[in-house]
Every structure is written in structure tokens, then in C-alpha cells.
Amino acid sequence: MADSLPTRQQDFNEWYNQLVLRADLADYAPVRGCMIIKPYGWALWENIQGALDRRFKATGHVNAAFPLFIPKSFLEKEKQHVEGFSPELAVVTIGGGEELAEPLVVRPTSETIIGHAYAQWIKSYRDLPVLINQWNSVVRWELRTKLFLRTLEFWWQEGHTAHATYDEAEAETRQMLDVYTDFAVNEAAVPVIPGIKSQSEKFAGALHSYTIEAMMGDKRALQAGTSHNLGQNFAKAFNIQYLDRENQLQHCWTTSWGLSTRFIGAIIMVHGDDQGLIMPPKLAPYQVVIVPIFKNDEEKASVLTVAKDIKAQLVKANIRVTLDEREGQSPGWKFNDWEMRGVPLRIELGPKDVAKQSAVLARRDRPGKEGKVFASLADLPLTVEKLLTEIQDSLHAKALSFRRSNTHNAQTYDEFKKADESGFAFSGWCGSGDCEGKIKEETRATMRCIPLDQEAVLGAGGGAASGKCVYCGQPAKSRAIFARAY
């Protein structure tokens, strides 16, 4: 066994960096800031895609594919958008050896090119709403990069919709925020705080932006998905217009929403421990690993026969399972390896187990004896299903309790400064960008969101609000989450 990881307490950053490589999720690429997603990491992303795509289809969306290249002039049509994205653009000026008449931008996001298409497609109120999503990668020239969390190219989905009214666009924006919340909580076991972003933190070109914010294992915040009401900003920039029932020409109301491979970073940092990754069972590439244990060829033959039979039964029950038949590695080495990769449940099978028609099941989320049970082979798929559900629920409960115990009802600025060093501060805010800016300057904490459900943040017994802005003492409009963020 190679050296163990640095503990999270020692060096969370280095723990993360090594874990991503050693769990075989991703690798560095020859171009600085780019990422190679390895098969094990991509399998996790495919499961994330599947869980989201089902939800998108169930809410009436369809998938399409728009081009990678966008004429540079498109980006310039929406003023805030171009200001926000200009510093991050990769621009192609030569094609086929010739200088291009107009430079092409490698898409940082696709509002502009999709807006251009929608302007051609949408003529009348009968064409609305348009509900399209695409799965793709985008490029943003980031300076400080970190695998999954911030890379020049990353994979995501971007939904783009057009509607007849503000209310419909707003309902869509909120619906997709709910979809992300449901996905995060029920598939990834990642508790999130759905909320609205401040004007200074919103998407470049949006009327307003919603976000789901999660607390990582080092108590910092991660924006895990966003949903934007774009108002009529892009509709006006691209002439996305329709004839209403009275035959009057109107601008559409549009939205966009996205969740990216960054979410893999959230899964790692929310659930991982000092031994490695812990995959939430619902998204795990392998939910179960079977490790056979034997000393000689005779034992090997009988153990492998039973192990293969167990595997077949689990596959039949739609459980994602792998049998580790690797030669030349001890069972102990294999245990460590699968712990590093975060497989939720391990089945240990030796000659004695075969004789007794039972197996040892070891939970990844409960190290040592505490997480081990003997199970009869007779009804193993049922036992495994039950345990996977327990692991899924227990991961969520643990993460939620961690977040709540590290979210502080900070009422004075002194309390706030302490809170910000040890998790989230949940404090009154007057709504002024000045106070928000000063807080950012003085503490490094940024405003993550104004939670939509203010009561749910701290849970029962979380304490009353002061009713005052934590910075200026003026009456608070609402309470907001402030934290250091990825």
C-alpha cells in the first residue's frame, strides 16, 4: 500500500488534490488548467447526467446541440454579458491557415448563440415556451485552477428557455432550482441551501440568479448549480420576438441554468474522509465491490464460483457491482484501494464464508468493525439494497448535521468575523452593495445567497434573527449566508 493521504485536518487542499488522482477520477492535461476525466470519474459524471436528464425530461425539456464556436460580435451584443466574460475568453483568429474575417470565441456559455437561433425560430406565442437543454463542454480561461472545481474546459449542461411572460420565465427559473435541489439532496446526498444571489454575484447578463450552495468538509462554500432569470436582456440583444394573441410584437423572457463537473468536487469534499472518497450509493459507479479471499487454488476455485454467482444475482437486482479478481494483490491491498475510490459497500468472501453460505458486508461510511455485518447469501440482494439505502440516508444526515453545526447565527460584526473563520455566517443584511463589498474586503467572506427558506438554514432551535444588518446596523431586509467560497 502506498503512503496514506494527508488528513483533511492537516491539509485539506492537498488531501483533495491527491485524492482526485489516487481515486482514479481525473488527471492533469498537457495544457495548464485542463483536465482529463478518467473512466471512473466519467462513470460518476454519467450517473449525474442520467439523474439530471431524467428530471429535465420529466419537466418537459428536450436536448439539442449548438456549435462550439460563436462569432465574437455575438458576445458583444449584451453589455453586462461581455463585461463579465471578456477576461475569460479563448478566441480563435486563424482557421485553416488563414486569418479569419471575424474572430471566433470558444463558447464560455451559450446564451448568445442560442439567442441567435431562437430569434429565427420563434415567431408567435404558439411557438412558446421553448425548453431546450444541451450537454457539452465550455471554456473559460481561468487563472487559478483545480481539478473539477475550476478548469479551463469543463463539462456541464446548460438549459436555455424562452417564454411569453416574466411570470412564466420566473416559474421556470425556480422550477429548475428545485430540480437541482432535489438532485443534490436525493441523488448525491449533498444538503444544499437554495437561495438568490446578490446583484454583485449574479450571472453576467441576468436579471437575477438563483443558486444552490453547499458546505464542504473544510467549511467553505461551493456554488453547486445556478438558475438565472435573464429577463428580456438577451431577447432585446438578439431580437427574440413573438406575436402575441393581439398580434402585437413582444420580446420573449428567457432563462438559463447549469450544473457542471464541479459537482464532482462537491461530492468529494462533502462525503470524503481521511481514507479517501465516499460515493453516495445512488451515483456510485460501483455500489458494491466483491473481494474474494483465498490461500490456494482449491479455495480460489470454490470462492470464485460463489463470488461470480453473487455478482450475477446483484446484477439481476440492478445493483452496480464489480468483482475484484486482480491477481498479485492481497485482499488487504484491495480493501484499501476500494476505500480510496469510495465504493459504498464491500463484500468479503472467503472459504469459511462459502462453507457457512454467508459473507461479510463492510460499509464504507463506517470504518472498522462498527460497519461490518454478516449476511446470509440466501437473500443477499435484499440485504444489499437495504444497506445501500441506509448509507445514502446516513451520508445526507451526517452532512446536514455538519453544515448546521458550522453555520452561525452571527448578530454582531465581531461574531461575524469569528463565524466566517469557522463556517457559514447567517446574518442580517440591509440589502446594500456597499455593506456587502466592505464585508468582502475586510473578511474574505462573500455573500453566497439569501436562502429562500430562511427557517430551514439552522433548523429548529437555531435562534432568532437580530433584524439588523450585521455590518451597518440598519434594519435588515433578510438574512444571508456569508462564507469563504471555492
Number of residues that bind Zn ion (CB under 5 A): 6
Give the contacts of 63 (CB within 8 A, at least 6 positions apart): 53, 56, 132, 133, 134, 135
CB of 472 to Zn ion, least distance (A): 3
Q: Which stretch binds Zn ion (CB under 5 A): 11-19, 198-206, 265-273, 428-436?
A: 428-436
Nearer to Zn ion by C-beta: 137 or 474?
Answer: 474
- DSSP secondary structure string for all residues of 62-75: EE----SEEEHHHH
Q: How far is CA 423 from the centre of its chain?
A: 19
Site for Zn ion, residues 433 to 462, rule: CB under 5 A? 435
Nearer to Zn ion, 29 or 472 (CB): 472
Cα angle at 323 between 320 and 329, to 5 degrees? 140
Q: Which residue stretch of 40-48, 105-113, 310-318, 432-440 sits at the interface with Zn ion (rule: CB under 5 A)?
A: 432-440
Omega of the bond leading into 129 within 30 degrees of 0 (cis): yes
Where in 197-236 is the site for Zn ion (CB under 5 A)?
none
In whole angstroms, give the CA distance from residue 78 to residue 25. Answer: 37
CA distance 352 to 171: 59
Beta carbon of residue 223, minimum distance to Zn ion (angstroms, whole number):
23
Residue from 238, 471, 482, 486 touching Zn ion (CB under 5 A): that is: 471
Q: Smallest distance from the beta carbon of 432 to Zn ion, in angstroms? A: 5
Q: Of these, 430, 439, 457, 483, which contacts Zn ion (CB under 5 A)?
A: 430
CB closer to Zn ion out of 118 and 416: 416
437: Cβ contacts below 8 Å, ≥ 6 apart: 200
Q: Give me the least distance between CB of 414 and Zn ion, in Å please.
A: 16
Phi/psi of residue 105, nearest 5 degrees: -95, 135
Q: Could you tell me which stretch among 46-54, 168-176, 364-372, 431-439 binds Zn ion (CB under 5 A)?
A: 431-439
Give whichever of 150 and 417 is closer to Zn ion, judged by the CB atom.
Answer: 417
Return d(Cα 345, Cα 468) in angstroms, integer.
Answer: 48
Closest separation between CB of residue 425 and Zn ion, Å?
A: 14
Of 291, 284, 257, the residue nearest 268 (C-alpha): 284
44 binds Zn ion (CB under 5 A): no
In the 8-state DSSP scheme, what is residue 409?
Answer: -
416 touches Zn ion by CB under 5 A:
no
CB nearer to Zn ion: pick between 16 and 471 = 471
> Which CB, 310 or 439, lies closer to Zn ion?
439
Compare residues 323 and 430 and give the one whose CB is closer to Zn ion. 430
The answer to whether 159 touches 255, Cβ cutoff 8 Å, is yes
Per CB under 5 A, which region of 46-54, 118-126, 341-349, 465-473 contacts Zn ion? 465-473
Instruction: Please identify, among the stretches 170-178, 327-335, 424-432, 460-468, the one whose residues bind Zn ion according to the rule CB under 5 A.
Output: 424-432
Closer Cβ to Zn ion, 432 or 466, answer by number? 432
Minimum separation from the CB atom of position 411 to Zn ion (A):
13
Residue 472 interacting with Zn ion (CB under 5 A): yes
Q: Cβ of residue 410: shortest distance to Zn ion, in angstroms?
A: 14
Closest separation in Å from C-beta 436 to Zn ion: 8
| Residue 3 grid cell | 503512503
Comparison of 198 and 256: residue with beta carbon closer to Zn ion: 198
Instruction: Classify burial at 198, counting beta carbons within 10 Å of its beta carbon; exposed 0-12, middle 13-18, buried 19 or more.
Output: buried
Which stretches of 277-435 are assigned E, i.e. beta strand? 288-292, 321-323, 345-349, 358-363, 372-376, 407-408, 424-429
**DSSP characters over 419-448:** HHHTSEEEEEE-S-HHHHHHHHHHHS-EEE
175 and 59 Cβ atoms separated by less than 8 Å: yes
Rounded Cα distance between 261 and 42, Å, is 9
For the bound state, the minimum distance from the C-beta of residue 421 to Zn ion, rounded and expressed in Å, comes to: 21
Q: Which is nearer to Zn ion, 234 or 471 (CB)?
A: 471
How is residue 13 written as a grid cell?
Answer: 487542499
Selection from 335, 380, 325, 315 nearest residue 354 by Cα: 380
Distance of closest approach, residue 160 Cβ to Zn ion, in angstroms: 35
Cα gap 419→208, rounded to integer Å: 27
Question: Backbone phi, then psi, for 239, in 5-degree steps?
Answer: 55, 50
Query: Does residue 171 bind Zn ion (CB under 5 A)?
Result: no
Stretch that binds Zn ion, among 193-201, 273-281, 328-336, 469-477 (CB under 5 A): 469-477
Check binding of 469 to Zn ion (CB under 5 A). Answer: yes
Nearer residue to Zn ion within complex by CB, 344 or 428: 428
Cβ 221 to Zn ion shortest distance, Å = 21
Q: Which amino acid is at 425?
A: A
The residues binding Zn ion (CB under 5 A) are: 430, 432, 435, 469, 471-472
